[in-house]
Structure 1
């Protein structure tokens, strides 16, 4: 009888230990999920900010295609604000450093576009386009983008577009369809 009581007590103790271990494992798993969810939320915020930058970039590009200096200036200012609002904290340390440099440079060009005439806007758009391409290489995008290239402007110049139809922001109405799709992104 004593052995039976000891066996029952040992089994109860084992069952309680097993239950506690399961609860602890569940808590660790839930905590890990919360960490992962927080990380996903941070990336979603950064993704949304990167997509906002792209949206403003495309609006600027379209204003340049339309030869609209005033609209390009407004869109340049909007883009500068979107760039300043970008939060790179969810990226790796190396990516954060690269993004910081890219964003600073792109912001400077967007601000110049906001204060310049068409020819100067287009000069800054060339470097800005390189910056935005570099940003997308790090942040990625949920959209399909097209890197387009004009061999005529300033020894050859690229830009991003959300359409595969070439509409040249460097020459606008003068040479609207000058260029080609260089590559598809995403």
Structure 2
């Protein structure tokens, strides 16, 4: 009986020892698996952070490009819009047969044309615009220092320059290309109003002419 009890005790201790070793091995395996999972998760997080950084960089670049394009467009629109506004001031002064007002508007237009920034246009458009601006400045200068009859002569050529310019720059308002068949074998001009108010004759033949073309807003 004593031997049996000793044997039983030895077997019990051996079993407990094996159980403890098994538990330790299991914990090691589980610990290894946990560490592996943590490393995998960290790798995935780093990968996701890299993607987010890349996407943010792309978004920032796209935003900057869009902003730069909008700035160029706004600059282009402002310059073109101001030239048209100055031209309309000259036209209105001639309609009213007001030499001084026409001269003042002509000089203002010269200043605006000198500051016209063509850098946002294509190389071909820049060349065309520079030629147009050079010619338009010359006619605006003459309007700024001439008598009414001479102002109207240069206004005819200035109007041709404006039509060529608007064909390139576009317009932020609807314009009407109008035509008088009586003045200098036929002469055209631009107006923001559909009704005819003749700048070549003023009150002498105020409604002489017709609308040749409607130029829709492109901005």
TM-score by length of 1: 0.93
| Alignment length (residue pairs) | 186
1:57 aligns with 2:87: yes
Contact 1:39 1:90 in 2 (8 A): no
SS of corresponding position for 1:64: helix
Unaligned runs of 5+ in 2: 1-28
Q: Any idea what the Cα deviations from partners look like across 1:83-114, whole Å, max 9, x if unmatched?
A: 11111111122222211111111111101111
Q: Distance in 1 between matches of 2:131 and 2:52?
A: 47
Q: Any idea what the Cα deviations from partners look like across 1:98-131, whole Å, max 9, x if unmatched?
A: 1111111111110111111111111111111111
Q: Which runs of 4+ in 1 moved over 3 A?
A: 1-8
Unaligned runs of 5+ in 1: none
Q: Distance in 1 between matches of 2:37 and 2:160?
A: 74
**Residue matched to 1:156:** 186
Matches within 5 A, 1:107-126: 107-126=137-156
Q: Any idea what the Cα deviations from partners look like across 1:142-170, whole Å, max 9, x if unmatched?
A: 11111101111122111100100101111
**Residue matched to 1:48:** 78
Greater C-alpha Rg: 2
1:94 aligns with 2:120: no
TM-score by length of 2: 0.80
